[in-house]
């Protein structure tokens, strides 16, 4: 189980896209530069007790200043694609009204550098940094935010659309809605399940409206990125074929509804699952879902982006305490998987990724798939100018083999973007959790390729994995 470097050779399809991903607030720093105004993450990280160590994104990797060096690193690694996000509060500091050209200039320079280096830019419009002014006006639980998002999307596309073909509307709306407004572990830190369910709908509406705006501007490829996982029972961690009891199957289905189908069914089919509507009805009601909304949400898109870290392991039975991130799931227990874990405590289950990709290929055959994030935090140590992060290399190797297996069984997976290029601000965990294939010394801003980066670079060169 876990990672194994002792398997056969695995060649990937010609044209398979190899890359790495980051997000604006996690790497840029420079929070007051060139007219940027606060986002909900500036406010949240500035509130004592919200982020480990009191860390903030004020400085982060100072990518805003070092972007050219960072592109050079990507080029040294041979990346074909780089997924970054655009900070709304740089482009439109109050989330409405005035567009700030100096904020857009930064992304324009970044895109130019990438293209010069032969690296394809994958731009994400929203990776959680909502302008604080919009939160003060109600945030995602307020319908107007969806319309504000579409205006912002249009402005970014107008400036970058001549050079960027690959667009993502939202990164992980489940996290924005249910960690931001449900259990409050993320910004803005509200704890209100009804608000979280409204936020989820308005995020989807924002996705649909932004997709219309991007399409009208001529965007070629539009992706919705979701945090997805196979929802399985503890027994299925050990034996994927294990049959759950009827009660466990119900628990699995409930969590799958909230995590997976709540987003994919409206975005790809224009309908909410009936059991989701029951949960919404019991938690604040359905009034915020207007006639015609599902038609707006359901826009043709090319790709679903999959952020996968670990399976979601559940069984029937009361949890310790109702988790406001999972409304309507008071009778579901979240379980520890019998598997090795990363520094986040997340179980390492590579075959969960094959299972997920094959399920998506079966249930949603109408879209292409791309792994937009996969990676792991480990407690790295620098020794003699090296980071021997064998745990991370093993994690990546195991998950790439899982992707390869899913492709061999027919899943249409177009690429793989490792999370993350750089050690960075890991949200509520601050800087203590390192996900990078490149080490960052936050005191000096020095970058150092970890062994996993050198290994990944060989994988890219070979378009696959070596047997050993
Ligand atoms: C991604 O989100 C982010 O896109 C990225 O910015 C981040 O740095 C990276 O992963 C690493 O964390 O069962 O309630 O405990 C992470 C997605 C979804 C993973 C929620 C942990 C726990 C949900 N996360 N999941 S719960």
Per-residue confidence in pLDDT tens, the chain, 468 aa: 344 445 899 999 999 999 999 999 999 999 999 999 999 999 999 999 999 999 999 999 999 999 999 999 999 999 999 999 999 999 999 999 999 999 999 999 999 999 999 999 999 999 999 999 999 999 999 999 999 999 999 999 999 999 999 999 999 999 999 999 999 999 999 999 999 999 999 999 999 999 999 999 999 999 999 999 999 999 999 999 999 999 999 999 999 999 999 999 999 999 999 999 999 999 999 999 999 999 999 999 999 999 999 999 999 998 777 889 999 999 999 999 999 999 999 999 999 999 999 999 999 999 999 999 999 999 999 999 999 999 999 999 999 999 999 999 999 999 999 999 999 999 999 999 999 999 999 999 999 999 999 999 999 999 999 997
Q: How far apart are the first and last CA of the chain?
A: 17
- How far apart are alpha carbons 443 and 432 in whole angstroms? 13
Cα-atom radius of gyration of the chain, to the nearest Å? 21
Q: Give the side-chain half-sphere CA count within 13 A for 20.
A: 26
Looking at residue 1, its pLDDT comes to 38
Distance CA 357, CA 349 (A): 14
- For residue 248, give both structure tokens: 């466990």
According to the annotation, is 419 in a ligand binding site?
yes
pLDDT tens for residues 194-245?
999 999 999 999 999 999 999 999 999 999 999 999 999 999 999 999 999 9
**Ligand 1 atom nearest to CA at 323:** 14
Element (H, E) at 120: strand 120-126
For residues 101 and 328, give the distance between their C-alpha atoms in angstroms, rounded to a whole number: 44
Q: Is 167 annotated as a binding residue?
A: no
Decide: 21 in ligand 1 pocket, CB within 6 A.
no
458 has catalytic annotation: no
Sign of CA dihedral 143, 133, 150, 273: negative
CA distances (Å), origin 373, targets 126, 188, 297, 379, 388:
15, 23, 24, 20, 22
Q: How far apart are CA 73 and CA 447, in angstroms?
A: 9
Q: Is the CB of 23 under 6 A from ligand 1?
A: yes
pTM for this prediction: 0.98
Token match 């996968």: residue?
308
Query: For residue 441, what is the enclosing H or E element?
Result: strand 438-441
Residue 158 known to be catalytic: no
Identify whether 420 is preceded by a cis peptide bond (ω within 30 of 0): yes
CB of 22 shorter than 6 A to ligand 1: no
The one catalytic residue in 220, 373, 383, 458 is 373
Give backbone dihedrals phi and psi of 323, rounded to 5 degrees, phi first: -100, 120
CA-closest residue to ligand 1 atom 6: 23
The closest residue, in CA terms, to atom 7 on ligand 1 is 426
**CA–CA separation, 7 and 1 (whole Å):** 12
Helix, strand or coil, per DSSP, at residue 266 = helix
* Residue identifier of the C-alpha nearest atom 12 of ligand 1: 426
Residue 78 CA to ligand 1 center (angstroms) comes to 27
Closest residue by Cα to atom 19, ligand 1, is: 309
Hey, which of 227, 262, 321, 431 would you mutate to test ligand 1's pocket, going by the most ligand atoms within 8 Å of its Cβ? 227
ipTM of the complex: 0.94
Strands (E), 40-111: 81-85
- Residue from 28, 135, 172, 315 carrying the catalytic annotation: 172
Does residue 325's CB lie within 6 angstroms of at least one atom of ligand 1?
A: yes
228 alpha carbon – ligand 1 mean position (Å): 10
The verdict on the CB of residue 227 being under 6 Å from ligand 1 is: yes
The H-or-E segment that residue 360 falls in is helix 351-363
**Closest-lying ligand 1 atom to the alpha carbon of residue 429:** 12
């Amino acid at each position: 189980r876990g990672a194994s470097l002792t398997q056969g050779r695995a060649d990937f399809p010609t044209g398979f896209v190899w890359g790495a991903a980051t997000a604006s607030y996690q790497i840029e720093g420079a929070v007051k530069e060139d007219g940027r105004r606060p986002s909900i993450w500036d406010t949240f990280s500035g509130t004592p007790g919200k982020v480990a160590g009191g860390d903030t994104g004020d400085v982060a990797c100072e990518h805003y200043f070092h972007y050219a060096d960072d592109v050079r690193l990507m080029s040294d690694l041979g990346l074909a694609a780089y997924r970054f996000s655009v900070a709304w509060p740089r482009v439109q500091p109050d989330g409405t009204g005035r567009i700030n050209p100096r904020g857009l200039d930064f992304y324009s320079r970044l895109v130019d550098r990438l293209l010069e280096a032969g690296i394809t830019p994958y731009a994400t419009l929203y990776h959680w940094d909502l302008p604080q002014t919009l939160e003060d006006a109600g945030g995602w639980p307020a319908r107007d935010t969806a319309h504000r998002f579409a205006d912002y999307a249009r402005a970014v596309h107008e400036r970058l659309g001549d050079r960027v073909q690959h667009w993502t509307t939202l990164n992980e709306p489940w996290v924005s809605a249910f960690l931001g407004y449900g259990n409050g572990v993320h910004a803005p830190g509200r704890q209100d399940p009804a608000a979280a369910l409204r936020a989820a709908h308005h995020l989807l509406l924002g996705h649909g409206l932004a997709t219309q705006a991007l399409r009208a501007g001529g965007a070629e490829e539009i992706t919705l990125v979701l945090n997805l996982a196979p929802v399985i029972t503890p027994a299925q961690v050990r034996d994927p074929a294990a049959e759950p009891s009827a009660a466990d199957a119900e628990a699995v289905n409930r969590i799958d509804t909230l995590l997976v189908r709540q987003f994919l069914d409206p975005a790809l089919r224009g309908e909410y699952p009936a059991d989701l509507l029951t949960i919404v009805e019991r938690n604040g009601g359905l009034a915020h879902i207007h006639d015609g909304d599902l038609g707006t949400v359901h826009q043709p898109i090319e790709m679903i982006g999959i952020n996968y870290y670990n399976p979601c392991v559940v069984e029937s039975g009361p949890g310790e305490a109702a988790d406001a991130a999972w409304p309507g799931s008071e009778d579901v227990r979240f379980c520890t998987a019998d598997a090795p874990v990363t520094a986040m405590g997340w179980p390492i289950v590579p075959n969960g990724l094959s299972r997920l990709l094959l399920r998506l290929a079966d249930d949603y055959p109408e879209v292409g798939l791309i792994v937009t994030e996969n990676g792991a935090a480990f407690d790295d140590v620098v020794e003699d100018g090296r980071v021997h992060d064998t745990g991370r290399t093993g994690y990546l190797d195991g998950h790439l083999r899982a992707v390869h297996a899913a492709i061999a069984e027919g899943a249409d997976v177009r690429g793989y973007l490792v999370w993350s290029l750089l050690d960075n601000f890991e949200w509520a965990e601050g800087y203590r959790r390192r996900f990078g294939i490149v080490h960052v010394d936050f005191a000096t801003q020095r970058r150092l390729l970890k062994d996993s980066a050198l290994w990944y670079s060989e994988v890219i060169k070979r378009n696959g994995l070596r047997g050993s």
